[in-house]
Amino acid sequence: MIKAIIFDVDETLVYYEGYSLREWYEKVGLPAMKELGVIVDWEIFRKMARGELPRSYVEKFQINHVKFWKALDEANRKYREELLKEGKVHTFKDVEALKEIKNLGIKLAAVSNASQDNTELVLRAFDLLKYFDVVYGKDYTYLDGVKPNPYLINKALKALNVEPKEAILVGDSELDIIAGKRAKLRVVQIVREKRVEGADVYINSLWELVDKLKTGEL
């Protein structure tokens, strides 16, 4: 029986109009790095964002990695606030299904590689915070614990007081699938753009998730 569902946030519940990581790097990341006096080139940054290199890798550039990521997160906060003002952040239409899932008595968690502040910002903007029992963004005390590391997922499981076999992870990306598997959860990929191998279940809408929960398929 499913007692809890852990959701990814960006590109699973909300999306950013015209967003690309490369554009973010050039428009938001680079200016923030220049203020710190350190430039991490695109390829290294991409690998850190994709989980191919740890967040702490920037220590190689003689800068404290917590200071580095906090600076980028502060810049990202301003970027997200601006996008919200411009109406360029949107929820997927099926997020209304969260209410139905909550009504089934299932505990919900949101877990994101964005900062706690930035994660809560977008959830609050669309009145989604009320659905979640816990919300976790990346932890500055353990920045290498972002997905695909299962750390944040395990943190959510502990807070919800459920075992891995009693929970599922719902996300859109390879990072979500890897992290969920490492936490020993069944993983549901919601296919927002492209199907990623490795998930246990594939859905095209959160309403499909509701149906599978009601029929006992999950």
Per-residue pLDDT of 202-217, as tens digits, reads 999 999 999 999 999 9
Distance CA 146, CA 152 (A): 7
Q: What is the pLDDT of residues 100-113, one digit of tens each?
A: 999 999 999 999 99
Question: Which pLDDT score is estimated for 102?
Answer: 96
Distance CA 63, CA 92 (A): 38
What is the bridge-based pairing of β-strands 107-115 and 134-138?
Answer: parallel
Residues of the chain with pLDDT under 50: none
Q: Tally Cβ neighbours within 10 Å of residue 144.
A: 16
Q: What are phi and psi of 73, to 5 degrees?
A: -70, -35
Quote the pTM value. Answer: 0.96
